[in-house]
Structure 1
């Protein structure tokens, strides 16, 4: 057995009997100062232990989200109709996707940029539009309308079908023979049946369809009647609009809600469409037009026309992580556009790369990295307006350089993957139809931000060092003060004797 005395011999902290110690006023003051210093330094060390610390490095992009990048946007175009608004994607690898619709939504908007109704549906593309087989018809079967006569005819006929065209337009000229011939057939059929069956129900024995003065085919030259075409939001030529008397008149300023026709443009298809339009309408021309659908699929080619000339486009697209372009423009495979009249001014409500980050997650990120997140939505709320100072044919281009930032917490948990970008915009005048172009280029490097987690053992070590260091230093200072005072007293006593 080891004796108690031998155990006591290894005591590092040998005790001095209290009767042999002496308390001093300077020692008491120094002890108070030392205690306060310990408390202050302990608080500073605790705050440093609880604070977040990060390290930043730049590495080659090792993204876990694959080879594609998500672009989310919400952009309003006050002067671009939803009827022709198209979102296109292209890149340096040869990708070329036109008129993306699956992940895109469109809303007609007014001058205040607020939606004027429900979502605008472009409808499925049925097939390539068929035109007449070169059949020439030099006559004028349709009625030419002007701004002065337009309202008169819309209130006079239960159904008015108008071809808004431009003489210089290739597609308008291809439609013209079929349109005029179809209009002539409808007018002649009406005249003959009215003469023969004036007192009957006006049946067309050849087709079984009732034909009379319930429908009129007309045309408007948009180069001559520019204001009239603007009031009806015509941006592509030719645009065939179907106006219905009575039931389609809205309360605000008597404007007409109407449909656009996107079907085939040969004579037979046009005549068949007109027959289907009047089929559900009573012979009494004064009755209001009734809504109806044909049984041969023709109605698939008729869709509501835009109520306003503006469009809000929102949604997302996925692009390859290579330099490319997101282009928003007026696009159609069977319409022409007057480039001098196109205005691609727009207001960006939101434009970002990658998935949306929730406010809660962003709050946690800001707490860890305060400067992060300031450039992931750099274009938000900005307006790019062409006031016609540069003239016509103005394309608005945005050059975006993207850098990915990844935040890793101390437990190797990935907090977020965020894409920040710089943006430089310009207005460029050219010869082509104006567009809004977003040119994006992703950096091959990424910023890696890692949280430096401090160990608890390191914290305890520092606390012990603070306490021991302050205690030791205070003891040394106290010893020096005590010995100095004793020496001064001895000197004083020697002088006195």
Structure 2
């Protein structure tokens, strides 16, 4: 009531442009602004703070008291943020997030869906953009560099599937269209490399490569990023077969015989050419 904190309420269903500029995607959202301004002079970055604490009256009042505690009543100069407050943290500069982890899946067709869910928020699907960048997506265990180096002498193309999603960006530029879901359809194929050492078969590597096709689709529900994956019933099996010593001797003899045969043909051609030239020369002298 002393003017150190001013409270305001915004209806994002009416103030659509304002909420879009401040990356409001979930309701209710509580933002804390200092000095009545939220935009820096350099590149328009936001300086507001987002409240992540409990939504009951006691928690909210406690947070407000902590905010005004360092502010003298006789001064209108606002202090810097109290860094000891653990219930709030600076909001991200963009409306995105980073997802990292592992998911156990069965060897049957399935879906991996990334969407916004919260028990204490509601979402405006028309304001959500599911554009994303895939840094890495793979199936199976990660192959160590040492094993990959050993196996590349057998199959140089292993580990470079012709349509991986790694490092690719999927941006939704349809600003006028809402509820756009980005879907990826993955066809997964298992590749197994088997080598023979001391007359024993040894599985050197198992890798799941995939091809991918992506598309955008509209729905009436909250937009998501969806990955449909299906394991192919076919499998690529690469086997290393050692050659016998007799096969090596046969190849060597074939190479040597070929060299002698080619040398004999060249000698015959050269000899006949010289004889023909001598006959022509003798005929002219006669």
TM-score under structure 1 length normalisation: 0.45
Candidates 26, 33, 50, aligned match of 1:236: 26
Cα pair 2:130 2:224 within 8 Å, conserved: yes
Q: Provide, for residues 142-186 of structure 1, a one-character-per-residue CA deviation record: whole Å limited to 9, x for no partner.
A: xxxxxxxxxxxxxxxxxxxxxxxxxxxxxxxxxxxxxxxxxxxxx
How far apart in 1 are the matches of 2:26 and 2:62? 24
Candidates 195, 210, 217, aligned match of 1:409: 195
1:384 Cα deviation from its structure 2 partner: 3.1
- 1:114 corresponds to which residue? none
The answer on 1:317 being equivalent to 2:106 is no
The answer on 1:277 being equivalent to 2:67 is yes
- 1:291 corresponds to which residue? 81
- 1:447 corresponds to which residue? 236
Tell me which structure has the larger Cα radius of gyration: 1
The answer on 1:394 being equivalent to 2:180 is yes
- 1:420 corresponds to which residue? 209
Q: Name structure 1 gaps, 5 residues minimum.
A: 1-186, 191-212, 472-497
- 2:123 corresponds to which residue? 337
Candidates 147, 155, 158, aligned match of 1:372: 158
How far apart in 2 are the matches of 1:389 and 1:254? 21
How far apart in 1 are the matches of 2:44 and 2:105? 48
Cα pair 2:161 2:210 within 8 Å, conserved: yes
How far apart in 1 are the matches of 2:145 and 2:100? 19
Cα pair 2:45 2:93 within 8 Å, conserved: no
Question: Are the structure 2 counterparts of residues 382 and 255 from structure 1 closer, same or farther at C-alpha, using a change threshold of 3 Å?
Answer: closer
How far apart in 1 are the matches of 2:81 and 2:136? 39
More helix by share: 1
Cα pair 1:342 1:434 within 8 Å, conserved: yes
TM-score under structure 2 length normalisation: 0.74
Work out which structure has the larger RCO, using CA pairs closer than 8 Å and 6 or more positions apart in sequence.
Answer: 1
Cα pair 2:20 2:127 within 8 Å, conserved: no
Q: Name structure 2 gaps, 5 residues minimum.
A: 261-286
- How many residue pairs match? The answer is 256
Determine helix, strand or coil for the equivalent of 2:196. coil
Cα pair 1:401 1:441 within 8 Å, conserved: yes
The answer on 1:438 being equivalent to 2:227 is yes
Q: How does 1:102-113 map to 2 (within 5 A)?
A: none
Cα pair 2:113 2:226 within 8 Å, conserved: yes
Q: Provide, for residues 244-282 of structure 1, a one-character-per-residue CA deviation record: whole Å limited to 9, x for no partner.
A: 339987552564422211223233332222112212333
Cα pair 1:352 1:377 within 8 Å, conserved: no
Q: Provide, for residues 274-320 of structure 1, a one-character-per-residue CA deviation record: whole Å limited to 9, x for no partner.
A: 112212333343334233367xxxx4432321212334x35331222
Cα pair 1:398 1:425 within 8 Å, conserved: yes
Q: Give the CA RMSD over aligned residues.
A: 3.4
Q: Provide, for residues 8-62 of structure 1, a one-character-per-residue CA deviation record: whole Å limited to 9, x for no partner.
A: xxxxxxxxxxxxxxxxxxxxxxxxxxxxxxxxxxxxxxxxxxxxxxxxxxxxxxx
Cα pair 1:233 1:306 within 8 Å, conserved: no
Answer with 457-466 or 320-329: which moved more.
457-466
Question: Are the structure 2 counterparts of residues 467 and 230 from structure 1 closer, same or farther at C-alpha, using a change threshold of 3 Å?
Answer: closer
Q: Provide, for residues 441-495 of structure 1, a one-character-per-residue CA deviation record: whole Å limited to 9, x for no partner.
A: 2245532211112233542355468779999xxxxxxxxxxxxxxxxxxxxxxxx
Cα pair 1:246 1:289 within 8 Å, conserved: no
How far apart in 2 are the matches of 1:428 and 1:308? 24
Question: Are the structure 2 counterparts of residues 388 and 465 from structure 1 closer, same or farther at C-alpha, using a change threshold of 3 Å?
Answer: closer
Determine helix, strand or coil for the equivalent of 1:277. helix
